[in-house]
Amino acid sequence: MSVHPRIVRSIPFWILVAGSVAAIGGGTYILVEKLSNMEATILDNTATGVDVYVGQIWGVFGGILLGAGVVGLALALATAALSSVFPREPRRTAGEQDRHAAVPASEHVISERAASEPAVSTETTAVSAADTTAPDPATTSTLESPSNDPQQR
């Protein structure tokens, strides 16, 4: 039996963590690079409209990417914390596993039904031979009418 929680072996969890870390790194790089370039060109008095206005948009994009990475990392950490608080399967001792393995699941269902339903009599009643001579309309099919009328077929 594994000691680690199931979240440690979850591929989507690790994709979320890796993607979040990559978004944080990429957003930080874009944000710092564009803002430092824009600051340097403004202080040198060599800034153009592209440096100032487009640099602002790239800075905003880097900030959004950085924020998305932080949110993704927070979600990954919250998921890991919740998976450790609420385990997926209850752990059983060796004695409980042996006891559950010895009794088939169908017997559990039968015993649960027997406890919840009232007892039903399974006795049958005998039908006398005199009662079987006349055809019973309930048991007669629609193709075989008692009067053999072709209209009813």
> Which tens digit of pLDDT belongs to each residue from 68-81?
999 999 999 999 88
The tens digit of pLDDT for each residue in 98-152 reads 555 555 555 555 555 555 666 555 666 655 555 555 666 666 555 555 666 656 5
Burial of residue 69, with CB atoms counted within 10 A of its CB: 0-12 exposed, 13-18 middle, 19 or more buried: buried
Number of Cα atoms under 13 Å in the Cβ half of residue 23: 19
Looking at this protein, which amino acid is placed at residue 34? K
Q: What is the pTM of this model?
A: 0.54
